[in-house]
Amino acid sequence: MFHFKNLFQDGNKKKTILTVIIVCLLIIIASGYLYIHSALKAVNPHHQTEKRIEIPTGSNVLKIGTILKEHHLIKNPYVFAFYARLHHDENFQAGTFELSTAMTLDEIVQRLQKGGIAAIEFTIPEGTQIDEIAAIVSKHSSYSQQQFLKQVDDPKFIQLMIHKYPNMLTAAILSKQIRHPLEGYLFPATYSFYNKNISLQDMISKMIAKTNDVLSPYQEEREKKQLSVHQLMTMASLVEEEATGDVDREKIASVFYNRLAKNMPLQTDPTVLYAMKQHKEKVVYKDLKVNSPYNTYKHKGLPPGPIGSPGEKSIQAALKPAKTDYLYFLANIHTGKVYFAKTLKEHNALKEKYISKKD
């Protein structure tokens, strides 16, 4: 016989079980939410003292979370990893960081993305030559000048860079007349490296990448002027070495282009000094006889390649020289002021007035 009472009891029992399950699930969800919400907050909001930690190169997001947990900077590495992936914030930097337990998870993520304390940092001034860059790197890292020069002139590395930046680095840099194939292509800027064990190859690659980034917007303008990248960088390096101020760069570039148009030698002193591998304020007559393809007193046209690393302003001047009839210029070494002339007679008069009488 069918008993409605038993059926009713069974139905109530199932409803009770279902209710218990739902309540348990809600408790678990609520607890999970509260735990995650708590994990997103600072471990100790009142403790501002920062700890220095090291994030190794190649660390994935969970490994970073584990390191943070070991230093008591976060509450749970899995919540950290989930949060980072959920917000697409996995582009973390390796290196040394200073973090505190007063920082929220979001603040820690932002700090890890921006980069920590630079393990290696240096500035390459405009016009710096590769030999000088080697000295700068040596001063601020564990690498010697010789190691830097060996890497920057390594044929395999150069070919790798040519393959990576075919629109910038061409066969022109491989001329046997060129002292350093990558001269002029290590952009003058401040560089910060957060991994103390960074390789020289990666360090130099960043400098070359910076040059590529700076040059890319000028491609159309350069092509209209019918200049190769190598010609542009060579001209810009001459302007950089001769310029004493921003206002003179376009005029100096115009003198060089005007002389090239008239098949006159450029006769710029910095090329002589580059040929001599020297740095001094004044070039004397005997210096002009140095036997080198870089000597623009002996050879017409541009030198084989850049004589230093030009900054962006000199690159712009080489692309947009002033429209002048000037064929000569000289700089007063005492004031830095540059004087321009259209004729040799005018130039000699300026030289007598501002140079010879002060020697």
Express each pLDDT in 39-52 by its tens digit: 556 767 777 777 88
Q: CA–CA separation, 240 vs 246, rounded Å?
A: 10
Query: Can you give the pLDDT at residue 336?
Result: 78
Q: What percent of the chain has pLDDT over 70?
A: 85
Choose from 114-118, 233-237, 280-284, 343-347 the range with maximum mean pLDDT: 233-237
Residue 204 neighbours by CB distance under 10 Å:
22
Q: Do residues 136 and 198 lie in contact, with contact meaning Cβ atoms separated by under 8 Å?
A: no
207-239: per-residue pLDDT in tens? 999 999 999 999 999 999 999 999 999 999 999
Provide the 3-class DSSP secondary structure of residue 159: helix
Quickly tell me which residue has 């060129």 as its tokens.
178
SS3 for 13? helix
CA-based angle 290:291:294, to the nearest 5? Answer: 90
Give, in words, the CATH class of 50-114. Answer: alpha beta
Domain boundary assignment for the chain: 50-114, 119-322, 327-359
| Ranges of H-type helices in the chain | 4-40, 61-70, 77-86, 105-114, 130-140, 145-152, 155-164, 200-215, 219-224, 229-242, 249-261, 269-276, 312-319, 344-354
Tell me: pLDDT of 108 over 60: yes
Q: Of 6-20, 186-200, 275-289, where does the model show the most confidence?
A: 186-200
pLDDT tens per residue, range 68-80: 888 888 878 877 7
Cα–Cα distance measured from residue 75 to residue 72, given in angstroms and rounded to the nearest whole number: 7
113 Cβ partners below 8 Å, 6+ apart? Answer: 89, 91, 92, 93
pLDDT of residue 154: 97
Residue 268 has pLDDT above 80, yes or no: yes
CB atoms under 10 Å from CB of 83, counted, come to 21
Angle at 162 between CA 159 and CA 164, to 5 degrees: 110
